Amino acid sequence: MAELAALLFDVDGTLADTERDGHRVAFNRAFAEAGLAWEWDVPLYGELLSITGGKERMRHYLEQYQPAATLPGNPADWIADLHRAKTRHYEALLGEGGIPLRSGVERLLREARDAGYRLAIATTTTPANVTALLENAVGPEALDWFEVIAAGDVVPAKKPAPDIYHYAMAKMALDPAQCIAFEDSHNGILASKGAGLKTIITVNDYTRDHDFDSAELVLDSFGEPQQPFEVLSGSPAVLNGAEYLDMALIKRVHSG
């Protein structure tokens, strides 16, 4: 077994609970601004999350829920413009401080960095969204913690395709045996496993019932010393009594 060298993180739902109270709200604000009588409520957005990528999600919504809609101009350009407006609203929400990192995330990132592990992002969200989240939830210095931020359209096929992970590892000149992935969804683990990566899952309200049978460890959060995680699936021998995710546990998962 190769030695663990790098931690590769998904963003939405993994580093922060961005979907329900972030992206969903931003989509609705963009729709209203464009004069569209569309409202993605919480249950509908949960269904739409089966489609990865914001522009892809809007295209799916148009096809399945608004087939009679007449779009001005070129549909691809119109969707791209509307998605840029959505990103602007999302960044404004982050600036309002309403989307913190999930429990244990900042602690783990700092611990991994201090121990010399390499960090990367592998996500379908846009680079602007990643930047806004990290700058507002931690500070501008957090951007420098990640050697690679693989995000958005840098690869043509988004999750569940493994392309974004292959891209990140190629940029770092690492192979899957040297890395471990962190995800929150079924599409996410399909991507990470498709890239040959051992994977730790932290579920959220939208993904708790997803299929994570192939994950090495499934948790409700990374946890904190005074706020233990709930283990949904994992080997007791690997856990070894751990109550929150730290580098010692991650190394046992990687080598297990």
Q: What does the pLDDT read at residue 95?
A: 86
Element (H, E) at 35: none
Q: Residue with structure tokens 């799916």?
A: 60
Name the least confident of 88-97, 116-125, 214-223, 231-240.
88-97
Give residue 178's pLDDT band: very low, low, confident or very high (50, 70, 90).
very high
Distance (Å, whole) CA 164 – CA 192: 9
114 is catalytic: no
Q: What does the pLDDT read at residue 204?
A: 92
Nearest Cα to 50, choosing from 248, 210, 253?
Answer: 210
Distance (Å, whole) CA 2 – CA 255: 8
72 has pLDDT over 90: no
Give residue 73's pLDDT band: very low, low, confident or very high (50, 70, 90).
confident
Distance (Å, whole) CA 8 – CA 63: 33
72 burial (CB, 10 Å; 0-12 / 13-18 / 19+) is exposed
pLDDT (mean) for 159-165:
97
12 is catalytic: yes
Name the least confident of 123-127, 140-144, 199-203.
123-127
pLDDT (mean) for 123-148:
93
37 has pLDDT over 80: yes
pLDDT (mean) for 100-105:
95
* Residue 8 DSSP one-character state: E
Nearest Cα to 17, choosing from 94, 85, 112, 108?
Answer: 94
Q: Cα 166 to chain center, whole Å?
A: 16
Give the bridge partners for 8, in sequence order.
120, 181
Q: Residue with structure tokens 């592990």?
A: 117
Active-site position among 12, 163, 184, 246? 12
61 has pLDDT over 80: yes
Do 215 and 233 form a contact (C-beta atoms < 8 A)? Answer: yes
Distance (Å, whole) CA 51 – CA 120: 23
Mean pLDDT over all residues of the chain? Answer: 95
Does the pTM surpass 0.85? The reply is yes
Give residue 21's pLDDT band: very low, low, confident or very high (50, 70, 90).
confident
Active-site position among 10, 17, 163, 246? 10
